[in-house]
Amino acid sequence: MGMTSKLIHKYNIAGPRYTSYPTVPYWEADTFSALAWQDNVQTSFTESNAHEGLSIYIHLPFCESLCTFCGCNKRITKRHEVEEPYINYVLKEWALYCELFEGKPHIKELHLGGGTPTFFSPENLQTLITGILEKSTLASQYEFSFEGHPNNTTREHLQTLYDLGFRRVSFGVQDYNLRVQMAIHRIQPFENVQTVTNTAREVGYTSVGHDIIFGLPFQTVAHVQETIEKTKLLQPDRIAFYSYAHVPWIKGNGQRGFHDSDLPTATVKRQQYELGKQLLSEMGYHEIGMDHFALSTDSLYQAMQRQTLHRNFMGYTASKTQMMIGLGVSAISDSWYGFAQNVKDLSSYYQLLDENEIPVYRGHILTQEDVVVRTHILNLMCHFETSWQDDALCFDELPDVLIKLQEMETDGLIAIHSKAIQVTEKGQPFVRNVCMAFDRRLQRQQPKTQLFSMTV
């Protein structure tokens, strides 16, 4: 076993992806209430709206067919009459939030995710965005983005959203090999991706992203190489290159289009990642945090250079806002001091909004320690370093964390200084493991069953 293989074997354990801290399984439901959440939102809005604005994530859950690799909340239907009622309810939810705000919200960032946002007609998407903007003002240098499906994103979709201020779009590629595509139930030829990528650029989008996944069923190292070589022909501005999170115990049969034995081993997955990373580097892409790569002309790379990179439930983002409001079924909001998730089924979502209730059903109000630990984890995930020069970033169990990290230092994954730690280049693929040492809730209460995907 080579050195890298030994490290993979040692550190490939189940762990969170840290799009939040505390992670969802550790939220304290008993101290959370819709009323506490609303107070939280008002505080955060007052603190941050004027100088940095807020982010909005809108979850559009419908898909015409099920992709078996997907871990998102979705509704499979071919009935497009579901679009209009859903949009009306999302706008009603936004109106309820606007009633809580002291003044008009300044929107810094808006993202449409799913599901398949391009399931919705261009006209209905226009109704949705216009309705959101009617109650808002735009912050300077705002960024609007959406996720498009290469098979159903039309020029009209791209043009309509461009005219509303969208300049960034990402397309799910996953892998170009037909056998892999059949296993994950996501068949889309290279030509479809080429067409939407070129059309987006013709319309005027300044950032076109592709999502590529490694560790998929039947996927070999050669498949990853072939997918990235095809990607090179299109030169997307940014690439999300991430590990398939195999969590069928959470998602039920949605992740059962294949057998566990069809998945690559941890060693093959790491080979896929290493090769992909090397090819992307040779193509001029810079690695951003974890799983993301961008050309030097893209705003994500520039944010990393300026140390303004941020991470939230949308993944990495170029602009930090203290508050993110999630609209739509299952969407998660983040006020910095708390998280709240909307109900996951449509009928409950509609019913609560009919009763003029913000449709949250669970969440977590952060303790002072949570906020401090969250800051460290965010620093590590975004900048591969964190420091406690400022006494406010010290916490009681910090010495225990440093003891826990000593072995990683011995393995050359991190450097520990008197009041800071840095993740080395060798350690960057293991940044989730470094964060786990800081994760006080995980350390105090190890899960009895597997909650998270493997870190490698």
Known binding-site residue numbers: 57, 63, 67, 69-71, 114-116, 147, 174, 186, 211, 245, 332
Annotated binding site for [4Fe-4S] cluster, which residues? Answer: 63, 67, 70
Q: What phi-psi label fits residue 252: left (phi over 0), alpha (psi between -120 and 50 degrees) or beta?
A: left
DSSP 8-state code for residue 14: B
Burial state string for 313-346 with b = 16 or more CB within 10 A and e = fewer than 16? bbbbbbbbbbbbbbbbbbbbbbbbbbbbbbbeeb
Q: Please name which of 210, 225, 240 lies closest in space to residue 282, comparing C-alpha atoms.
A: 225
Cβ burial, residue 2 (10 Å; 0-12/13-18/19+): exposed
In the chain, % helix, strand, coil (3-state, to 5) comes to 45, 20, 35
Neighbours of 153 (CB within 10 A): 24
Tokens of 310: 């941020």
Annotated binding site for S-adenosyl-L-methionine, which residues? Answer: 57, 69-71, 114-116, 147, 174, 186, 211, 245, 332
Question: Residue 22, preceding bond cis, omega within 30 degrees?
Answer: yes
Cβ burial, residue 396 (10 Å; 0-12/13-18/19+): exposed
Helices marked H in 293-439: 299-306, 346-354, 368-383, 398-410, 431-438
